[in-house]
Every structure is written in C-alpha cells, then in structure tokens.
Amino acid sequence: MRNRLILLPGWGLGTAALHPLAASLRAQDSRLQVDLLPLPELPDGDVQAWVEHLDRTLPQDTWLGGWSLGGMLASELARKRGDRCCGLLTLASNPSFVSRADWPHGMPADTFSTFVDGCRSHLQVTLKRFRSLCTQGAPDQLAVLKQLNVGLPSTDPLYLMSGLEVLGKLDTRDALVEYTGPQLHLFAGSDVLVPAEAAKALCELVPDVEVGLVENTSHAFLLEYPQDLAAGIKNFLHESGDD
C-alpha cells in the first residue's frame, strides 16, 4: 500500500511522541494512512529475532519508518523486505548509535556502557536523564520535555534492557547500502545523542538517497516541528511515487 506509512518509536519512549507528527501527516494528506506501532517486547537482544518479529507482525508493502532505534529497525526490515517495502524514512536514527572504529559518529562505547549500567541499577533515574538528553538542544527544552513525558509506556525492565542490547549491536550501514528503494533520513542539528556529523557521513556512504539536517533542534525534533517535518515527508512520499 503506497499510501500507508508504518512508524516505530524510539527506545523507552513509546508511540505517544510520534502522535503530533502522525496527526500533521494525516492533516496534510488525507489519503495517507499512518500507523504507529510499538517496538517488539522480546526477552533477549538478538537483532535478527527483533527484525523477524517485525516482519511477521507489520503489514507488508508499506512505507517503513521510525525514530531513533525505530528507524534503525525499519532500515533492517526494509533490507529484508526489499521490493516489498515501498520506501524508508528515519528520524534522528544513526546507522550505528554506538561509535565504532570505522564509524566515529556515534556515542562513545564507554559512555553507552555507563548508560546501560545506570539502567540496570537505577532505571527510573536513568530514564529521566535520558529524556532530558533527548530534548537538549531544543530552543524551548522544558516545553519539549513536558510533551515527551506525556504517555510514556510502562515497559517491563527486561524488555528495556533487551532493547538497549539491540541498540548497542545494530549497525545498519550495510542495510542502507543494500536497500534500493527510496530513502529519506532526517537528522537534528543540535542532537546530543546522534551527532550531526552522522548526516554528512551517511551522505558519503549512500550518496543517492535523501539526507536532511534540521538546524538548532534536539533528538526530539519531531515534537518541535511536526508540521514542517510532515510537509517534507509528504513531499518525499509523493516525489518517490506515492501518487
């Protein structure tokens, strides 16, 4: 269905943060069906198991997209589905959230390890800190943080930890190179979780896809400018053959 877009949320944040963007997309294109679906809740961090679970449960022949971890998983699923995926959209999704020797544009591995340890020992405190980091860089951080704190899911800590394991393992660079359908990747200019440099590096990795950088915005930029983002996404869908 070329008029259907599936969006997956970021780690630990649920689908509520995607509601303003989805509402703006529906308002700007009455033909577009936008579905917000949660991340898998699986007891271990086997990346392939997560992707296969999504493949079984998400509708076929749709546009796939997501925010942060959701976008990374959508990227892997797009590669798996190939022609059965209409196109790919990611929002503040680093091809590799954790930096690697050949991808320095991520979170330092020791910083990520400290974050994981914090989740194990002081989950709620660490989650609160994480949400603050998501909104750091927004012109009105307190307002965005207030929005982000609405409708948070009550996810079992076991699933949160397995999600973190997936986030640490995922490296979607091969998936983005191998998937030949339309791609749009949007990054936030003042994101403290996904460096803006990742946008330029992605352009060099996959030069024939669309990559955008929204200046002076946070990791939660989809809450800052949902109407503007929706307009750009709508144009991408139409130009890529949605009509």
Return the minimum-mean-pLDDT range out of 41-45, 55-59, 62-66, 237-241.
237-241
Range of 219's domain?
A: 4-242
Amino acid (1-letter code) at residue 82: G
Taking only the tens place, the pLDDT of each residue in 77-134 is 999 999 999 999 999 999 999 999 999 999 999 999 999 999 999 999 999 999 999 9
In this prediction, residue 154 has a pLDDT band, given cuts at 50, 70 and 90, of confident
CATH number where 237 lies: 3.40.50.1820
CA triplet 104, 14, 52: central angle to 5 degrees? Answer: 70
Question: Distance between CA 46 and CA 49 in Å, rounded?
Answer: 5
Q: What is the pLDDT of residues 60-79, one digit of tens each?
A: 999 999 999 999 999 999 99
d(C-alpha 135, C-alpha 68), whole Å: 13
Q: What is the pLDDT of residue 170?
A: 98
What does the pLDDT read at residue 228? Answer: 96
Q: How far apart are CA 45 and CA 130, in angstroms?
A: 20
Rounded to whole angstroms, what are the CA distances from 44 to 8, 159, 197, 206, 239?
A: 19, 8, 31, 31, 39
| Strand order across the beta sheet in which 183-188 lies | 33-36, 4-8, 62-67, 85-91, 183-188, 210-214
Instruction: Domain count for the chain, please give it.
Output: 1
